[in-house]
Amino acid sequence: MTLADKVTLARLGLAPIAVIGYLAAPTSGMLCFWICGVVCGLAELTDYLDGRIARMRHEISDFGKLADPFCDVLYRMLIFFAFLLPAGGTGYTEPWGRDLPAWVQLVLLQPTYALPNGTTATACAPWLAVVLMAMREFVAGALRAMTATQGLVLAARTSGKVKAWFQGLAITLVCALPGLTFHQATWHLPVMAAAIWLCTLLSVGSMVEYLWVNRHVLRGLAVRTGDEPSAQR
């Protein structure tokens, strides 16, 4: 295994540390956000370094080409799913958008949980936005796997990289707002929601472009699969 591959795989170890820090560390001093933010910063740094190391040391490998996007998706999705739960077990104590219609609060805003002590805790990410991003990644991964088995290659798009950059920025923002202000202010929540929904729109848009640009390859995949005997499926 090359050095670049080890740097790539480091994200798999950093992701659970960031999740545990976000969920289990106390909110006093915004420690949970600081731990999550610092660890995610290291993870983003490995994403920047692994490609440079591979090119500089001439260690570009098939394993690295597959592991890099897999580690990216797994790391970022784990963080976004953690953001669906209250930070430090207590989250934001004051939800926002109470004057909005109930369906908007339920579908578009961050979930709010009732705690055993009678208070409420609001998470940092809207659940539907995270689900849509996860669905995009599952579909893209499944298509890449299916085409690879048939010897076909799907063309990568710049929109996918832009999506990943914005996801990294959104994770940084969620941790930085309370971390740098040392306070959980209600106004943080709409800013976080807007940033994460922007990532979702970019994710869905990149998926649409991905399918459109590769429509001829996918059509060829459908033809090849349709020609196979059912017993081989």
Task: Check pLDDT > 70 for residue 229.
Answer: no
Architecture of domain 3-232: Up-down Bundle (1.20)
Cα distance between residue 53 and residue 5, in whole Å:
9
Per-residue model confidence as pLDDT tens digits over 155-168: 667 888 899 999 99
Residue 41: strand, helix, or coil: helix
Confidence at residue 2, expressed as pLDDT on a 0 to 100 scale? 87
Tell me what the mean pLDDT of segment 102-115 comes to: 93
Tell me what the mean pLDDT of segment 135-161 comes to: 78
Q: Are the beta carbons of 25 and 88 closer than 8 angstroms?
A: yes
Per-residue model confidence as pLDDT tens digits over 174-212: 999 999 999 999 999 999 999 999 999 999 999 998 888
Domain locations in the chain as residue ranges = 3-232
Among 63-72, 129-138, 163-172, 186-195, name the one with the lowest average pLDDT: 63-72
Cα distance between residue 173 and residue 180, in whole Å:
10
Question: Position of tokens 């299916």?
Answer: 146
Among 50-64, 127-141, 147-161, name the one with the lowest average pLDDT: 147-161
Q: What percent of the chain has pLDDT over 70?
A: 91
Q: In terms of DSSP H, where are the helices of the chain?
A: 3-24, 31-56, 62-82, 102-107, 127-149, 158-181, 188-213, 215-227
Average pLDDT, the chain: 89
Q: Residue 217: CB partners within 8 Å, gap ≥ 6?
A: 147, 152, 153, 154, 155
pTM for the structure as a whole: 0.89
Confidence at residue 227, expressed as pLDDT on a 0 to 100 scale? 55
